[in-house]
Chain A
Amino acid sequence: MADEAGITVLIPTPLRRFTDGDAKVTMAGASVGEVLDSLERAYPGIGERLRDDSGQIRRFVNVFVNGQNVRDRDGVDTSLSEGDEVGIIPAMAGGSRV
Protein backbone atom coordinates (compact mmCIF):
# COMPACT_ATOMS: atom_id res chain seq x y z
CA MET A 1 0.00 0.00 0.00
CA ALA A 2 1.44 3.33 -1.05
CA ASP A 3 0.50 5.13 2.16
CA GLU A 4 1.95 2.49 4.48
CA ALA A 5 5.51 3.09 5.51
CA GLY A 6 8.23 0.47 5.80
CA ILE A 7 9.29 0.66 9.43
CA THR A 8 12.26 -1.15 10.92
CA VAL A 9 11.39 -2.73 14.25
CA LEU A 10 14.14 -3.82 16.66
CA ILE A 11 13.13 -6.90 18.65
CA PRO A 12 14.70 -7.44 22.09
CA THR A 13 16.17 -10.81 23.05
CA PRO A 14 13.22 -11.95 25.24
CA LEU A 15 10.73 -11.44 22.37
CA ARG A 16 12.79 -13.06 19.61
CA ARG A 17 11.17 -16.39 20.27
CA PHE A 18 8.13 -14.87 18.53
CA THR A 19 10.17 -13.76 15.49
CA ASP A 20 12.11 -16.98 14.87
CA GLY A 21 15.16 -15.34 16.39
CA ASP A 22 15.11 -12.23 14.18
CA ALA A 23 16.43 -9.11 15.91
CA LYS A 24 15.17 -6.78 13.19
CA VAL A 25 11.96 -6.97 11.16
CA THR A 26 10.21 -4.62 8.73
CA MET A 27 6.59 -3.73 9.36
CA ALA A 28 3.97 -1.48 7.81
CA GLY A 29 2.17 1.25 9.71
CA ALA A 30 1.70 5.01 9.91
CA SER A 31 1.80 5.08 13.72
CA VAL A 32 3.36 3.11 16.56
CA GLY A 33 -0.02 1.49 17.23
CA GLU A 34 -0.36 0.39 13.60
CA VAL A 35 3.13 -1.08 13.61
CA LEU A 36 2.34 -3.00 16.80
CA ASP A 37 -0.85 -4.26 15.09
CA SER A 38 1.28 -5.41 12.13
CA LEU A 39 3.67 -7.15 14.51
CA GLU A 40 0.82 -9.05 16.17
CA ARG A 41 -0.54 -10.15 12.76
CA ALA A 42 2.91 -11.38 11.71
CA TYR A 43 3.85 -12.90 15.07
CA PRO A 44 0.71 -13.84 17.01
CA GLY A 45 1.13 -13.50 20.77
CA ILE A 46 3.76 -10.77 20.74
CA GLY A 47 1.20 -7.95 20.99
CA GLU A 48 -0.09 -9.08 24.36
CA ARG A 49 3.44 -8.67 25.75
CA LEU A 50 3.56 -5.08 24.59
CA ARG A 51 0.12 -3.58 25.21
CA ASP A 52 -2.47 -3.77 27.95
CA ASP A 53 -6.19 -4.38 27.48
CA SER A 54 -6.79 -0.72 26.67
CA GLY A 55 -4.24 -0.83 23.87
CA GLN A 56 -1.68 1.31 25.66
CA ILE A 57 1.97 0.32 25.93
CA ARG A 58 2.54 -1.66 29.12
CA ARG A 59 4.10 0.12 32.06
CA PHE A 60 7.22 -2.05 31.94
CA VAL A 61 7.75 -1.91 28.20
CA ASN A 62 9.44 1.00 26.50
CA VAL A 63 9.12 1.85 22.81
CA PHE A 64 11.55 4.22 21.16
CA VAL A 65 11.23 5.88 17.75
CA ASN A 66 14.59 6.97 16.37
CA GLY A 67 15.95 7.02 19.90
CA GLN A 68 13.07 8.94 21.49
CA ASN A 69 10.75 7.31 24.01
CA VAL A 70 7.18 7.44 22.70
CA ARG A 71 5.98 8.18 26.25
CA ASP A 72 7.52 11.60 25.67
CA ARG A 73 5.59 11.89 22.40
CA ASP A 74 2.11 10.55 21.64
CA GLY A 75 2.43 6.96 22.83
CA VAL A 76 0.77 4.51 20.43
CA ASP A 77 -0.48 7.49 18.38
CA THR A 78 3.07 8.63 17.60
CA SER A 79 3.21 9.00 13.82
CA LEU A 80 5.83 7.23 11.73
CA SER A 81 7.41 7.81 8.35
CA GLU A 82 9.20 5.55 5.90
CA GLY A 83 12.62 4.66 7.27
CA ASP A 84 11.81 5.27 10.94
CA GLU A 85 13.25 2.84 13.43
CA VAL A 86 11.14 1.51 16.29
CA GLY A 87 12.98 -0.13 19.19
CA ILE A 88 11.13 -2.22 21.76
CA ILE A 89 12.68 -2.90 25.16
CA PRO A 90 11.11 -4.63 28.17
CA ALA A 91 12.12 -3.14 31.51
CA MET A 92 14.89 -4.46 33.67
CA ALA A 93 13.35 -3.66 37.00
CA GLY A 94 12.58 -4.92 40.46
CA GLY A 95 13.86 -4.21 43.91
CA SER A 96 13.74 -5.19 47.53
CA ARG A 97 10.33 -3.57 48.17
CA VAL A 98 7.59 -6.19 48.17
Chain B
Amino acid sequence: MSLGAPEVQTADEFRLPGEMREAIVAHALREAPRECCGIVAGRDGAPVQVYETRNIAEGNRLYEIDPRQLIDLEFRLLPEQGSEIVAIYHSHPESPAYPSLTDVELAFWPDAIYLICSLADGQRPDLRGFRIRDSLVHEVTLTQ
Protein backbone atom coordinates (compact mmCIF):
# COMPACT_ATOMS: atom_id res chain seq x y z
CA MET B 1 0.00 0.00 0.00
CA SER B 2 1.61 3.24 -1.06
CA LEU B 3 1.31 6.34 1.04
CA GLY B 4 0.34 9.74 -0.28
CA ALA B 5 -2.52 9.05 -2.68
CA PRO B 6 -5.95 8.44 -1.16
CA GLU B 7 -7.17 4.89 -1.54
CA VAL B 8 -9.81 4.59 -4.25
CA GLN B 9 -13.03 3.05 -2.95
CA THR B 10 -14.60 0.75 -5.48
CA ALA B 11 -16.88 -1.40 -3.32
CA ASP B 12 -19.54 1.25 -2.88
CA GLU B 13 -21.76 1.26 -5.95
CA PHE B 14 -25.16 2.64 -6.76
CA ARG B 15 -27.10 1.04 -9.58
CA LEU B 16 -28.99 3.69 -11.54
CA PRO B 17 -30.81 2.42 -14.63
CA GLY B 18 -30.04 4.26 -17.88
CA GLU B 19 -33.53 5.69 -18.32
CA MET B 20 -33.38 7.28 -14.85
CA ARG B 21 -29.96 8.70 -15.59
CA GLU B 22 -31.35 10.16 -18.83
CA ALA B 23 -34.38 11.59 -17.01
CA ILE B 24 -32.16 13.43 -14.52
CA VAL B 25 -29.89 14.82 -17.26
CA ALA B 26 -32.94 15.92 -19.27
CA HIS B 27 -34.32 17.70 -16.20
CA ALA B 28 -30.98 19.45 -15.64
CA LEU B 29 -30.84 20.63 -19.27
CA ARG B 30 -34.44 21.83 -19.21
CA GLU B 31 -33.98 23.77 -15.96
CA ALA B 32 -30.65 25.45 -16.87
CA PRO B 33 -29.43 28.05 -16.09
CA ARG B 34 -31.21 27.31 -12.81
CA GLU B 35 -30.37 24.23 -10.79
CA CYS B 36 -32.87 21.41 -11.02
CA CYS B 37 -33.69 19.07 -8.13
CA GLY B 38 -35.59 15.91 -7.35
CA ILE B 39 -35.47 12.55 -5.67
CA VAL B 40 -35.13 8.93 -6.65
CA ALA B 41 -37.47 6.51 -4.91
CA GLY B 42 -36.41 2.93 -4.40
CA ARG B 43 -37.10 -0.37 -2.72
CA ASP B 44 -34.40 -2.10 -0.71
CA GLY B 45 -31.99 0.56 -1.92
CA ALA B 46 -32.69 -0.15 -5.61
CA PRO B 47 -34.12 2.79 -7.61
CA VAL B 48 -37.64 2.41 -9.02
CA GLN B 49 -38.69 5.95 -9.99
CA VAL B 50 -37.43 9.50 -10.47
CA TYR B 51 -39.57 12.35 -9.11
CA GLU B 52 -38.85 15.86 -10.35
CA THR B 53 -39.50 18.47 -7.68
CA ARG B 54 -39.80 22.24 -7.58
CA ASN B 55 -36.72 24.25 -6.64
CA ILE B 56 -37.85 27.01 -4.26
CA ALA B 57 -34.38 28.56 -3.80
CA GLU B 58 -33.73 31.95 -5.35
CA GLY B 59 -31.09 32.52 -8.01
CA ASN B 60 -29.27 30.07 -10.25
CA ARG B 61 -26.74 28.63 -7.84
CA LEU B 62 -28.84 27.03 -5.11
CA TYR B 63 -31.55 24.45 -4.74
CA GLU B 64 -34.08 23.62 -2.09
CA ILE B 65 -36.73 21.02 -2.77
CA ASP B 66 -40.22 22.38 -2.12
CA PRO B 67 -40.84 21.07 1.43
CA ARG B 68 -44.53 20.61 0.69
CA GLN B 69 -43.69 18.14 -2.08
CA LEU B 70 -41.10 16.51 0.11
CA ILE B 71 -43.45 15.93 3.03
CA ASP B 72 -46.00 14.42 0.64
CA LEU B 73 -43.39 12.08 -0.86
CA GLU B 74 -41.80 11.06 2.45
CA PHE B 75 -44.94 10.47 4.48
CA ARG B 76 -47.68 9.60 1.98
CA LEU B 77 -46.82 8.78 -1.61
CA LEU B 78 -43.72 6.64 -1.15
CA PRO B 79 -44.90 4.69 1.94
CA GLU B 80 -48.12 3.86 0.05
CA GLN B 81 -45.99 2.39 -2.72
CA GLY B 82 -43.68 0.59 -0.34
CA SER B 83 -40.74 2.69 -1.46
CA GLU B 84 -38.49 5.30 0.11
CA ILE B 85 -36.10 8.06 -0.86
CA VAL B 86 -32.82 6.46 -1.92
CA ALA B 87 -31.21 9.39 -3.74
CA ILE B 88 -31.47 13.16 -3.99
CA TYR B 89 -30.37 14.88 -7.19
CA HIS B 90 -29.57 18.40 -8.29
CA SER B 91 -27.60 20.05 -11.07
CA HIS B 92 -24.53 22.23 -11.19
CA PRO B 93 -25.10 24.15 -14.44
CA GLU B 94 -21.64 25.70 -14.53
CA SER B 95 -19.46 23.78 -12.08
CA PRO B 96 -18.15 20.22 -11.73
CA ALA B 97 -20.16 17.25 -10.51
CA TYR B 98 -18.72 17.38 -7.02
CA PRO B 99 -20.40 18.52 -3.78
CA SER B 100 -19.83 22.20 -2.99
CA LEU B 101 -19.31 23.41 0.57
CA THR B 102 -22.98 24.37 0.55
CA ASP B 103 -23.93 20.84 -0.52
CA VAL B 104 -21.90 19.37 2.32
CA GLU B 105 -23.19 21.79 4.96
CA LEU B 106 -26.80 21.14 3.99
CA ALA B 107 -26.61 17.35 3.64
CA PHE B 108 -29.26 16.43 6.20
CA TRP B 109 -30.10 13.03 4.66
CA PRO B 110 -27.03 10.87 5.35
CA ASP B 111 -28.62 7.62 4.17
CA ALA B 112 -29.42 8.98 0.71
CA ILE B 113 -27.07 9.06 -2.25
CA TYR B 114 -26.53 12.63 -3.45
CA LEU B 115 -26.49 12.74 -7.25
CA ILE B 116 -25.03 15.79 -8.97
CA CYS B 117 -25.40 16.47 -12.69
CA SER B 118 -22.83 18.91 -14.05
CA LEU B 119 -23.50 20.81 -17.27
CA ALA B 120 -20.13 22.57 -17.16
CA ASP B 121 -19.11 20.75 -20.34
CA GLY B 122 -21.97 21.73 -22.62
CA GLN B 123 -21.39 18.72 -24.86
CA ARG B 124 -21.21 16.14 -22.13
CA PRO B 125 -23.36 16.24 -18.99
CA ASP B 126 -21.59 14.49 -16.10
CA LEU B 127 -23.67 12.67 -13.46
CA ARG B 128 -21.96 11.44 -10.31
CA GLY B 129 -23.05 10.05 -6.95
CA PHE B 130 -21.83 10.69 -3.42
CA ARG B 131 -22.45 9.80 0.16
CA ILE B 132 -22.19 12.84 2.41
CA ARG B 133 -21.98 11.96 6.09
CA ASP B 134 -20.60 13.98 8.98
CA SER B 135 -19.18 16.49 6.46
CA LEU B 136 -17.25 13.71 4.70
CA VAL B 137 -17.73 13.17 0.98
CA HIS B 138 -17.31 9.74 -0.50
CA GLU B 139 -17.95 9.12 -4.20
CA VAL B 140 -19.96 6.06 -5.15
CA THR B 141 -19.65 4.44 -8.54
CA LEU B 142 -22.81 4.70 -10.61
CA THR B 143 -23.56 1.51 -12.48
CA GLN B 144 -26.45 0.61 -14.80
Chain A residues packing against B (C-beta within 8 Å): 10, 12-14, 23, 60, 62, 64, 67, 69, 87, 89-98
Q: Which residues of B contact A60 (CB under 8 A)?
A: 106, 108
A94 CA to B35 CA in the complex, in Å?
A: 10
Known contacts A14-B109, A14-B111, A62-B67: A94-B74 contact under CB 8 Å: no
A52 CA to B74 CA in the complex, in Å?
A: 24
Chain B residues packing against A (C-beta within 8 Å): 35, 37, 39, 57, 59, 61-65, 67-68, 70-71, 74-75, 79, 84-85, 88, 90, 92-95, 99-111, 114
Give the residue of A10, A91, A97 whose beta carbon is less than 8 angstroms from that of B67: A91
The 3 closest A-B pairs by CB, nearest first: A95-B62, A97-B61, A94-B103
Asked if B100 and A95 make an inter-chain contact with CB atoms under 8 angstroms apart, the answer reads: yes
Asked if B93 and A13 make an inter-chain contact with CB atoms under 8 angstroms apart, the answer reads: no
A20 CA to B79 CA in the complex, in Å?
A: 18
How far does the Cβ of B15 sit from chain A's closest Cβ, in whole Å?
A: 20
Asked if A97 and B62 make an inter-chain contact with CB atoms under 8 angstroms apart, the answer reads: yes
Known contacts A95-B35, A95-B57: A62-B71 contact under CB 8 Å: yes
Considering the complex, give the chain A residue whose CB is closest to the CB of B109.
A14
How far does the Cβ of B6 sit from chain A's closest Cβ, in whole Å?
A: 22
A6 CA to B99 CA in the complex, in Å?
A: 41
Asked if A97 and B68 make an inter-chain contact with CB atoms under 8 angstroms apart, the answer reads: no
Please, could you name 26 A-B residue pairs with CB atoms under 8 Å apart, sorted by A? Answer: A10-B75, A12-B74, A13-B74, A13-B85, A13-B111, A14-B110, A60-B106, A64-B71, A69-B68, A89-B71, A89-B74, A90-B109, A91-B106, A92-B108, A93-B64, A93-B65, A93-B106, A94-B105, A94-B106, A95-B35, A95-B92, A95-B103, A96-B62, A96-B100, A96-B102, A97-B62
Q: Which residues of A contact B114 (CB under 8 A)?
A: 94
Considering the complex, give the chain B residue whose CB is closest to the CB of A15.
B108
Q: Which residues of B contact A23 (CB under 8 A)?
A: 75, 79
Known contacts A13-B85, A96-B95: A91-B108 contact under CB 8 Å: yes
